[in-house]
């Protein structure tokens, strides 16, 4: 590919649909290709004559992956279907049946929705049952393993962490390795060339990778296409060489582009880590007062934003924010900025990273506070019940049961054993709170939305401002717990009553055998 052609192709990766593997030429594919564990895994399974169904979201790189595997496995006898959408269900079912009967390997790139439709058409076929199970149980919470009675395997690229250090490093390396000044570049090089030059510095690149790893743990799934689009925007800012050369839109540094102007869920997730919003007293003070020594920075030869002295404070503040963003990647202490994050999002990251970070009692306490704003206990979960037929939220709740927190556990999902080699960098987007000994699907799925809401309650969000959806999830969880709960022994029950509006509560004892209220 010509140099200008390469640059044009990379620029178009931001908000482009041309990255669908079916539409790419082989040299373009090679330019983008990053070898990941899943590719090696699929290749090894195909070599062992498995039928592999590669599924995932659009942009996850299903066809791309199979094209790369096909190149790697030049062996005859393995068949590839790069887009299952082009085949009828009947055709696909016959194909799978035939491959399983003959014991020959095959790979099919198939969207998850299409695969569900295929399974509905396949009905009770043995392969459909195991595929359905694999599709709906891709995660393991207590080390459960799936039976694989047939040599057919689902590989869901949703599980691939494209923001893992290994994958992201490879994407960025490939990307900036291809960027050279083109024929339109001014003598000093355009902003894209300057950005690429800075990102070639391994320490700066390492900072970028660290930041993106933090993004991964916020629970976002970034497709390979998202990552490529991000890399493209980071370097080019979404503008062509002609526009960049004209200087019409201004030339922006990669550390500004990382947080400014990009459109999409990945950009939104990155913006949550914008250093402008993360105070770091000592570094902020150092940056504000200046002047800085060159040795304080990685890549001493690069120019940094300057803080204009003697100007209006707002101008100085704008320049400071730019410098702070730069510092995240290039100041020797910049890494500390990410460690300084607080609030629900950061707390959730910690929970995902290490479930023992906050522990069962932490979650139990927050669930208790969902109903009772004054409750400090985390050692027991109060199974509050509200009951009303009217649509409006009820003011009073009652509970007959508590469940010791020790009877609950937090489970962190991992990829099922047979796929571990395919997704070594898998990162969960949720945890489960579940009663010990109960099936994981009976647990409470705590994702970012629910966790953030519980944290808001902890900080005093009144019940009237809580949305009803979390209450439904929590209620459904309590229902499953109540089914197994054993009311207090004997015939005297302690009922806790609460007025959720005022936070007032009381306890009442009832002797159900004698049908009387009791003192105490």
Partner 1 sequence: MLTIGRVLNGVFDDEVGWRPATGAVKPVHVANGLFRALCSEYWDIEGVVEFVAWQKYGKPIPERSFEALGERRQDVFRAFSGNRARFERVRRYARGIVAADRAVFPDAAKSALTIACREMISRDDMDKGVGTFAAALLGDPGTGGSLAAAILRALTVETPQDPVTALVWPLISSHTRREWKPAVRTLALERRHATDTVAALRTAADCLANHELRQGNRLRTLQRGTLFTCLAIHSHAQGIAAGGEIRNRVPGLLAIVGGKNDSVAAVSERALDLMYSQFESWLATQLSKRLETGQSLDPHHRPAEPPLEVPTNLSQARRILDRILTAGREPRQPDDTVKAARQANLDYHIQQLGRDNLFNALASALVSSYVTEYESGGPRPFLQGLGRKSGLLYPPYQGRSREKRIRPTVAMLDVLVRATVQQGQIVPFDEFLQSLWRTFGLIVGVRRGEPSDEELLARHGLRIDPDQLHDNAEALIDQLAYMGLAKRLADGITYVGDGNAA
Check residue 265 for interaction with partner 1 (CB under 8 A).
no
Cα–Cα distance for residue pair 350/356, rounded to 1 Å = 9
Please give the helix or strand (H or E) that residue 410 lies within, else none: strand 408-411
Nearest-CA neighbor of 372 among 382, 380, 361? Answer: 382
DSSP character string of 325-362: HHHHHHBTTTHHHHHT--HHHHHHHHHHH-GGGTHHHH
Output 184 or 495, the one with its CB closest to partner 1.
495
Output 74 or 389, the one with its CB closest to partner 1.
389
Contact 434/408 with Cβ under 8 angstroms? Answer: yes
Positions in 222-261 near partner 1 (CB under 8 A): none
Contact 148/133 with Cβ under 8 angstroms? Answer: no
Check residue 20 for interaction with partner 1 (CB under 8 A).
no
Site string for partner 1, 84-113 (x = CB under 8 A): ---------------------------xxx
3-state secondary structure of 224: helix
Pairing verdict, β 402-404 and 505-511:
unpaired
Closest distance to partner 1 from the beta carbon of 439 (Å): 10
Residues 6+ apart with CB under 8 A from 367: 381, 433, 454, 474
Check residue 445 for interaction with partner 1 (CB under 8 A).
yes
Closest distance to partner 1 from the beta carbon of 428 (Å): 11
Cα–Cα distance for residue pair 327/276, rounded to 1 Å = 11
Contact 9/31 with Cβ under 8 angstroms? Answer: yes
* Total residues belonging to the chain: 520
Contact 397/471 with Cβ under 8 angstroms? Answer: no
Check residue 455 for interaction with partner 1 (CB under 8 A).
no
Output 333 or 512, the one with its CB closest to partner 1.
512
Among 23-31, 203-211, 454-462, 491-499, the segment contacting partner 1 (CB under 8 A): 491-499
Query: Judging by beta carbons within 10 Å of its beta carbon (0-12, 13-18, 19+), is residue 348 exposed, middle or buried?
Result: buried
Check residue 436 for interaction with partner 1 (CB under 8 A).
no
Output 59 or 334, the one with its CB closest to partner 1.
59
- Cβ atoms within 10 Å of 99's Cβ, excluding its own: 22
Angstrom CA distances, 156 to 47, 60, 389, 440, stand at 19, 9, 42, 20
Site string for partner 1, 113-152 (x = CB under 8 A): xx-xx------------------x--x-------------
Residues 6+ apart with CB under 8 A from 135: 55, 112, 115, 116, 119, 154, 156
Among 203-211, 225-233, 345-353, 396-404, the segment contacting partner 1 (CB under 8 A): 396-404
Check residue 23 for interaction with partner 1 (CB under 8 A).
no
Among 121, 385, 452, 466, binds partner 1 (CB under 8 A): 385
Among 326, 432, 435, 457, binds partner 1 (CB under 8 A): 432
Output 139 or 367, the one with its CB closest to partner 1.
139
Query: Judging by beta carbons within 10 Å of its beta carbon (0-12, 13-18, 19+), is residue 49 exposed, middle or buried?
Result: middle
Interface with partner 1: number of residues (CB under 8 A): 65
Among 8, 181, 299, 440, binds partner 1 (CB under 8 A): 440
Closest distance to partner 1 from the beta carbon of 65 (Å): 15
Output 292 or 510, the one with its CB closest to partner 1.
510
Check residue 417 for interaction with partner 1 (CB under 8 A).
no
Nearest-CA neighbor of 409 among 458, 456, 355, 452? Answer: 355
Positions in 43-62 near partner 1 (CB under 8 A): 55-58
Check residue 429 for interaction with partner 1 (CB under 8 A).
no
Output 62 or 214, the one with its CB closest to partner 1.
62
Closest distance to partner 1 from the beta carbon of 150 (Å): 22
Output 170 or 480, the one with its CB closest to partner 1.
480
Angstrom CA distances, 507 to 184, 348, 374, 504, stand at 79, 34, 15, 11
Pairing verdict, β 106-109 and 51-55:
parallel
Closest distance to partner 1 from the beta carbon of 129 (Å): 15
Output 64 or 252, the one with its CB closest to partner 1.
64
Among 71, 357, 388, 406, binds partner 1 (CB under 8 A): 388
Check residue 461 for interaction with partner 1 (CB under 8 A).
no
Q: Which residues bind partner 1 (CB under 8 A)?
A: 55-58, 111-114, 116-117, 136, 139, 385, 387-392, 394-396, 398-400, 430, 432, 440-441, 443, 445, 449, 468-469, 471-473, 475-476, 478-480, 482-484, 487, 491, 493, 495-497, 499, 506, 508-512, 514-520
């Amino acid at each position: 590919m010509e140099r200008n052609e390469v640059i044009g192709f990379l620029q178009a990766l931001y908000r482009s649909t041309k990255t669908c593997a079916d539409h790419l030429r082989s040299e373009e594919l090679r330019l983008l290709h990053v070898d990941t564990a899943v590719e090696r895994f699929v290749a090894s399974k195909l070599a062992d004559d498995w039928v592999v169904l590669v599924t995932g979201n659009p942009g996850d790189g299903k066809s791309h992956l199979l094209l790369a595997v096909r190149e790697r496995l030049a062996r005859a006898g393995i068949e590839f279907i790069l887009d299952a959408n082009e085949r009828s269900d009947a055709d696909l079912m016959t194909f799978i049946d035939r491959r399983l009967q003959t014991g020959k390997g095959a790979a099919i790139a198939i969207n998850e929705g299409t695969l569900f439709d295929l399974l509905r058409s396949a009905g009770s076929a043995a392969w459909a049952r195991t595929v359905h199970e694999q599709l709906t149980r891709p995660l393991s919470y207590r080390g459960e393993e799936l039976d694989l009675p047939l040599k057919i395997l689902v590989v869901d690229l949703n599980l691939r962490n494209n923001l893992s250090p290994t994958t992201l490093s490879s994407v960025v390396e490939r990307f900036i390795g291809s960027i050279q000044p083109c024929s339109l570049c001014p003598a000093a090089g355009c902003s894209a060339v300057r950005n690429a030059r800075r990102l070639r510095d391994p320490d700066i690149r390492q900072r970028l990778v660290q930041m993106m790893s933090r993004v991964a743990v916020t629970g976002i799934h970034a497709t390979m296409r998202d990552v490529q689009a991000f890399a493209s925007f980071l370097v080019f800012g979404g503008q062509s060489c002609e526009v960049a050369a004209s200087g019409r839109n201004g030339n922006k540094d990669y550390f500004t582009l990382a947080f400014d102007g990009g459109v999409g869920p990945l950009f939104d997730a990155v913006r949550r880590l914008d250093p402008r919003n993360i105070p770091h007293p000592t570094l902020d003070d150092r940056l504000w007062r200046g002047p800085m020594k060159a040795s304080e920075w990685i890549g001493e030869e690069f120019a940094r934003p300057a803080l204009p002295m003697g100007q209006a404070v707002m101008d100085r503040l704008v320049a400071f924010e730019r410098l702070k963003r730069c510092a995240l990647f290039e100041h020797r202490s910049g890494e500390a900025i990410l460690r300084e994050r607080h609030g629900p999002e950061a707390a959730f990251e910690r929970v995902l990273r290490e479930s023992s970070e906050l522990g069962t009692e932490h979650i139990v306490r927050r669930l208790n506070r969902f109903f009772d704003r004054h409750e400090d206990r985390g050692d027991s979960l109060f199974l509050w019940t509200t009951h009303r037929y009217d649509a409006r939220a009820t003011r009073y709740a009652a509970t007959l049961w508590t469940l010791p927190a020790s009877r609950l556990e937090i489970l962190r999902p991992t990829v099922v054993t047979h796929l571990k080699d395919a997704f070594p960098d898998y990162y969960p987007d949720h945890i489960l709170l579940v009663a010990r000994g109960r099936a994981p699907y009976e647990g409470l799925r705590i994702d970012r939305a629910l966790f953030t809401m519980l944290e808001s309650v902890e900080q005093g969000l009144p019940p009237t401002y809580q949305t009803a959806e979390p209450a439904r999830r929590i209620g459904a969880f309590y229902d499953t717990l109540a089914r197994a709960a054993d009311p207090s022994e004997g015939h005297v029950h302690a009922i806790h009553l609460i007025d959720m509006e005022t936070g007032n509560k009381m306890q009442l004892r009832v002797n159900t055998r004698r049908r009387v209220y009791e003192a105490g």
